Structure 1
Amino acid sequence: MQTPAHAGLGDLLSYAHTADLPAGTLVRVPLGRREVLGVVWGSRAAEGGQALLDGSLADADGVLLRPVSAALDALPPLDAHWRALVAFAARYYQRGLGELALAALPPQLRELDSTQLARRLKRRDRKAQLAAASEDGAARAPACEAALAPSPEQSAVLAALEAERTQGQAPRPALLFGSTGSGKTEVYLQAVARCLAADPAAQALVMVPEINLTPQLEARFRTRFAALGEGAVVALHSGMTNPQRLQSWLAALTGQARIVLGTRMAVFAPLPGLRLIVVDEEHDPSYKQQEGARYSARDLAIWRGQRQGAQVLLGSATPSLESWHHSRPAEGEAPAGRYLRLHMPSRIGAGELPRVRLVDMQQQPPKTLISAGLLEAMTQRIARGEQCMVFLNRRGYAPVLACTDCDWKSECPHCSAFRVFHKIDRTLRCHHCGFTERVPRACPTCGNPDIAPVGRGTERLEEQLAALFADIRRPDGGAVRIARIDADSTRHEGALEAQLAQVHSGEVDVLVGTQMIAKGHDFRRITLVAAVNPDSALFSSDFRAPERLFGLLMQSAGRAGRDSAWLAAQGSRAEMWIQSFHPQHPLFEALRGHDYPRFAAQQLKEREAAAMPPFAFQALVRADARTQEAAQAFLNAAGDAAEGLPGADEVMRYPAVPLAVQRVANVERAQMLLESGSRAALQRLLAAWQPVLQELRRGPAGQGLIRWLVDVDPQSI
């Protein structure tokens, strides 16, 4: 059943059935007054059991067993590999088995009874037969005729993957370290084609970090593998409707789908013929689920590949430091990592990586938005018909609205955060709890009408750029066209695709946006990228902040100059401009040379000295309560109760502290960090701690507590 770990309900519940149901069978069972979906995890004969007068069954101990309402036997059972993946994820991430198993199933499947499911499957089979009848009889083999001729670097990578796959034992996970524009996607396409050609029942899973990257990748895969037939390539992500998700899931389970493309949730797709897993942009923190069961889809993909004998290919221009460390070559007496590292340093078509230019904002006049040099460079490119991209990872018009007379600020009444000013609809909006109000006409505290925005978001940047370029003209004499892509401008269905199409067609001269535009997109005419305010992450308390910033800036730079032939015809060279108050920071020095290995070496040296991941292992225990005192009291009591538990002597437990944003939606939040040099010791403690935490929740220490959770391998602290 779908029961969270903190509910205290056991992982497995027992039911009776007249027949022996195979493990993995989906069933409908009564739970309280409801009928819910369940998964058979195992079965045993009811030896010594007895039938009661009302027709129900009791086991040998006399415990009443309620009968299974119906078995959804029209579907094949979920195989042992899938059940092992779910069981491992539940155990490692300290969640309920049923919570993970049922969350991995399509929402609509949970509502269907056996009759409704049979009707849906019959309708689906009829559509498949009609689609097959309409085909011209072409062979259903992977179509590689449209594949591009691989570059020497791509050929070397594909040969290494083939050698690893055919060596006679489970292939090692491979890290493809390829610069932006080096053709990693083409490697994915050809690796999938070779995998499917080698086995007529093989399936491949291709994962991307964000939903907005799925449509363009899906279009490329559908075009390349059109000969496989209708339904052979499916998508699986939370942006789909419930019927669409169910259709894709069924296609994966039955083997009709040869290729599944999806976000982190796709790691749980039932793929009985899985032979290849591709994790694109493997460094991206979006692969870590941040609500409910906080699993890492990238790490689960590696575990699943090793257990199911599937090859795992991780790709990135800026790999996570964990993957970089695990793929290290042998040096002296130090052994090599357990991953295979593959390298593609060159761009396709002999294109050059963008030249990085740093602007010291301390040398600029106060309140300068765009330095004179950057403004001139953008003006020249717009006049030649080229496109520019300006990156600012903060949406809205301004992060805060303030009164200069009484120091009032637009604080959220429900969160310990400021509400963001959105000028388009004249609202103050909290990006944590969603609380929204109209902008007041005057200061609510002193009545001063001169309340002003402080700071800058993408809305304000778009407005100010429009003013700066008001007198500039395009080659056709028209006004400069500026577009903004962020979570606000793409809220409506189809908005993102429409805006991207405008960029690709050349209708946009300057693209302004957040990290949504910084990765994965193949903009052919963008030749200049600018980051206007990247300094905030340089001195963050989160030790992962520099890694994320370096990756984001490298990915942003990679959007420029991707079409080398067009760039040469323009007589231009791609550039990345970074405006910073700390241009001498080592991070920018490494970025200037596109030198990720240098940056990674420096970061790993610091982390090893501080005993931080990947040289140590962490977990967070978080508590949400009505008051901060109650949250911290629960965590501190839990820390005291951990004494003497298995593994406790090898795990460092830090005192409870508030989160950076300690109140959200009137709920106070606190956390306790656990750290150990032994993953096994940390897991032993967490497993033994679960019943202790549940008991504390019911006792005096749990007064005022709303919930608690465990976050293993946290991505932000």
Structure 2
Amino acid sequence: MPHISHVAVQTPAHSAVGELLSYTCDEVLQPGTLVRVPLGKRELLGVVWDTPAAPADIPPGVELRSIACVLPGIAPLSRGWRRLVGFAAHYYQRSVGEIAVTALPPQLRDMTAEQLTRRLAPPKPAKAKSSKSKKAQAEENFEDAAAAIAVAAPAPTTPLVALSAEQTSVFAQIEQNPGPFLLYGSTGSGKTEVYLRAVQALLDANPEAQALVMVPEINLTPQLQERFVARFTPQYGQEAVVSMHSGMTNPQRLKSWLAAHTGRARIVLGTRMSIFASLPGLKLIVVDEEHDASYKQQEGARYSARDLALWRGRDTGSKVILGSATPSLESWYASDGEVGRYQRLEMPSRIGAAALPRVRLVDMTQQPKRIVFSPPLIDAITDRVKRGEQSLILLNRRGFAPVLFCADCNWKSDCPHCSAHQVFHKGDRTLRCHHCGFTQRVPFACPSCGNPDILPLGKGTEQLQEELERLLRNVQRPDGDPARVARIDADTTKAKGSLEEQLAAMHAGDIDVLVGTQMVAKGHDFRRITLVAAVQPDSALYSSDYRAPERLFCLLMQAAGRAGRDALYVKAQGSAPEMWIQTHDAQHAVYAALKRHDYPAFAKQQLQERLDAGMPPYAFQAIVRADARTQEAAQAFLSAATQVAKDAGLPYLDEVFIYPPIPMAVQRVANVERAQMLLEATNRSALLRFLNSWQQYLHWLRGLPDHKGLVRWLVDVDPLSI
């Protein structure tokens, strides 16, 4: 008699097929086994789940399909991994199959048993001589070359640097206490060295232990990897340190996943996706820059990798370290002495007696109108260039200008598919929508009235680079060469390896002034930067999103931390690090706290505002979003969802406040209208239980004829933007 297994499979979104699907097999399969199963006309990857089924559980007349094959050579995924997936699916209102399968490497999802067997086979010995051409040989070896992880050769073991008194105290507390810990350390205080010591102590004490170290951005992974590789591969071997992020090729991601799953990899460095890595020996999780919004997935299952790290640490008994110079207000609140969920560890001083940069506010209401850079800031940048020092200019908007404008008829470069402007990119003379990707050439004249004098409005990183090159054209470096201005943003780093090349040039001192977006404002250890300037930060102060001041403060504080990190260099130059901010509201409380580098004061003021307004972390939120062909159809679905919840008398409805549906800030993207509805509760459990009971009604509503114009709906628990 065949055995029956429940399998987690990624079913179509909103199909309401079910959490798990039942299949037959000739043998009893252990939970966590990877299998390939038929679904419709396709064959998909699935994971055998925990609950076995008996023939009596199957309704009469139902004929089950058979599992196509079991993937060989891969040990079953652990119970702890399955618990993590189950919790994430329940909390973030997604199916178990979606979370489980998308957490696995993309290449593994498409492999047959035969392909996997070949992939896991040991490599054949190299032949003494090949008659193939170099091109043919290169093509044959391409997959193996791509699968190899690009890590530096093991560096010779070097003596450990001496810890400061603050680092020593923090490391001792991590060793002695269970955590979780919030490591609040100023930029340049040596948090990374504390992470390295914690990982070293773990691996020395337990030969099977594994550590997960998470960073928010892909471009920070190679830099951190270099330090971990240099520290650990001489002792533990080349496979001891692997990376996991979406910038890797599929063979690379599969190789890293297999190394972690088998325990060969002792340390995994990755972005938010790495929280679902299969780590059977996991004992330590580090979340660097834990405040960063990049830890929240914004497509598909909208999970928070930081929050899942805390849950996974508690479930597996692993220590968790959250590190940041500007912690999220939720983490800061949780580490308060009265709340006490996290243990707060503080490192307020920079390594080597390096001073925090002096913050200088430039009141742009007192400067000449329509200028990009104030004269005092240009003078300061010029002085740095002449002394051989580097400057960083921050503007979190790429392109030349956010919009083109015709003064005669008020035409603007609106995207035809979105309720947003097309951004003017001067480098290739294009207008691009940063929401849907639509691109077109810049018109020679206004499309509406024919006026040839259309003007750019606003500023982008391209414009800043061009303006700096003009202003510094006669400024010379100490070696007599002209000043060099470079730009790093999403446009200049598209080509493979371009980001690494530009960062290397910055570290080598070949660049004098770097213009960039937020991707260069955090994590990088530029030793020669002594001046950082934020050109247009005010827009975040007047946003409708209550988290905007927190995001702005964190970005500016992180950017300021790029200046003066090398105390010996600053002293030798006879210089002093500075952070310049050009603002039209110099008296704002955000800038006042930033000027003092006083994050605790800023957090106290913001938390009081959140308490008065009943906002997180004093309340819990979720958003239900609907995308439809018309705005009316989107809002009609959300209104019907509210009504059906009231008519059904869903549990905990009296503890959840449902706001009326409204259009999203950018309400149309790629010709799809978007609306949202906010839910709030003072009790997290009540909100989650209400959402769980509401799911079946949302599926039911979508199938009604009244909502045929609906494209999709989704639930976002703990949203970061409203």
TM tier relative to shorter chain: over 0.9
The alignment status of 1:217 with 2:224, answered yes or no, reads: yes
Aligned-pair CA distance for 1:125: 10
Match of 1:677 in 2: 682
Residue identity opposite 1:453 in structure 2: P
The SS at the match of 2:524 is coil
The SS at the match of 2:246 is coil
The SS at the match of 1:379 is helix
Match of 1:163 among 176, 184, 190: 176
Aligned-pair CA distance for 1:126: 8.6
Query: Where in structure 2 are the equivalents of 1:162-181 lying within 5 Å?
Result: 162-164=175-177, 171-181=178-188
Tell me if the contact between 1:143 and 1:225 (Cα under 8 Å) persists in the aligned partners: no
Distance 2:312 2:488 in 1: 35
Cα distance change of structure 1 residues 660 and 65 upon mapping to structure 2, 3 Å threshold: same
Match of 1:20 in 2: 28
Aligned-pair CA distance for 1:368: 1.9
The SS at the match of 1:219 is helix
The SS at the match of 1:153 is helix
The alignment status of 1:239 with 2:247, answered yes or no, reads: yes
Match of 1:472 in 2: 475
Aligned-pair CA distance for 1:144: 7.6
Cα distance change of structure 1 residues 655 and 144 upon mapping to structure 2, 3 Å threshold: farther
Residue identity opposite 2:98 in structure 1: E
The SS at the match of 1:65 is coil
Deviations 1:280-328 (A, max 9, x none): 0000000000000000000000000000010000000000000000000
The SS at the match of 1:367 is coil
Tell me if the contact between 1:5 and 1:95 (Cα under 8 Å) persists in the aligned partners: no
Aligned-pair CA distance for 1:640: 1.2
Tell me if the contact between 1:560 and 1:575 (Cα under 8 Å) persists in the aligned partners: yes
Distance 1:485 1:71 in 2: 46
The SS at the match of 1:352 is coil
Distance 2:342 2:681 in 1: 23
The SS at the match of 2:21 is coil
The alignment status of 1:632 with 2:635, answered yes or no, reads: yes
Match of 1:449 in 2: 452
Deviations 1:399-457 (A, max 9, x none): 00111111110000000000000000000000000000000111101111111111110
Match of 2:408 in 1: 405
Cα distance change of structure 1 residues 4 and 564 upon mapping to structure 2, 3 Å threshold: farther
Match of 1:131 in 2: none
Query: Where in structure 2 are the equivalents of 1:103-122 lying within 5 Å?
Result: 103-122=102-121
Match of 1:256 in 2: 264
Deviations 1:247-305 (A, max 9, x none): 00000100000000000000000000000000000000000000000000000000000
The SS at the match of 1:20 is coil
The SS at the match of 1:6 is coil
Aligned-pair CA distance for 1:119: 1.7
The alignment status of 1:714 with 2:716, answered yes or no, reads: no
Over the matched positions of the two proteins, sequence identity in percent amounts to: 65
Match of 1:2 in 2: 10
Tell me if the contact between 2:72 and 2:117 (Cα under 8 Å) persists in the aligned partners: no
The SS at the match of 1:250 is helix
Deviations 1:346-391 (A, max 9, x none): 0000000000000100001111211121111111111110001110
Deviations 1:483-526 (A, max 9, x none): 00000000110000000000000000000000011000000000
Residue identity opposite 2:416 in structure 1: P
Match of 1:183 in 2: 190
Cα distance change of structure 1 residues 652 and 667 upon mapping to structure 2, 3 Å threshold: same
Tell me if the contact between 1:172 and 1:339 (Cα under 8 Å) persists in the aligned partners: yes
The SS at the match of 1:319 is coil
Match of 1:517 in 2: 520
Residue identity opposite 2:241 in structure 1: V
Tell me if the contact between 2:155 and 2:230 (Cα under 8 Å) persists in the aligned partners: no
Residue identity opposite 1:561 in structure 2: G
**Structure 1 length normalisation: TM-score?**
0.94
The alignment status of 1:309 with 2:314, answered yes or no, reads: no
The alignment status of 1:99 with 2:98, answered yes or no, reads: yes
The SS at the match of 1:123 is coil
Distance 2:693 2:685 in 1: 12
**Structure 2 length normalisation: TM-score?**
0.93
Distance 2:123 2:315 in 1: 32
Query: Where in structure 2 are the equivalents of 1:246-285 lying within 5 Å?
Result: 246-285=254-293
Match of 1:385 among 376, 382, 388: 388
Deviations 1:33-78 (A, max 9, x none): 11111000035364459xxxxxxxxx46342111111111411000
The alignment status of 1:702 with 2:707, answered yes or no, reads: yes
**What's the RMSD between the two structures over aligned residues?**
1.5
Tell me if the contact between 1:205 and 1:274 (Cα under 8 Å) persists in the aligned partners: yes
Distance 1:399 1:48 in 2: 64
The alignment status of 1:78 with 2:86, answered yes or no, reads: no
Cα distance change of structure 1 residues 625 and 47 upon mapping to structure 2, 3 Å threshold: closer
* Structure 2 unmatched ranges of 5 or more: 1-8, 127-153
The SS at the match of 2:239 is coil
Deviations 1:610-633 (A, max 9, x none): 010000000000000000000000
Match of 1:691 among 692, 696, 705: 696
Distance 1:158 1:298 in 2: 21
Tell me if the contact between 2:243 and 2:256 (Cα under 8 Å) persists in the aligned partners: yes
The alignment status of 1:641 with 2:644, answered yes or no, reads: yes
Aligned residues: 684
Distance 1:636 1:457 in 2: 39
Residue identity opposite 2:687 in structure 1: L
Tell me if the contact between 1:662 and 1:670 (Cα under 8 Å) persists in the aligned partners: yes
Cα distance change of structure 1 residues 423 and 18 upon mapping to structure 2, 3 Å threshold: same
* Structure 1 unmatched ranges of 5 or more: 50-58, 128-140, 165-170, 330-334
The alignment status of 1:566 with 2:569, answered yes or no, reads: yes
Match of 1:88 in 2: 87
Match of 2:670 among 665, 676, 697: 665
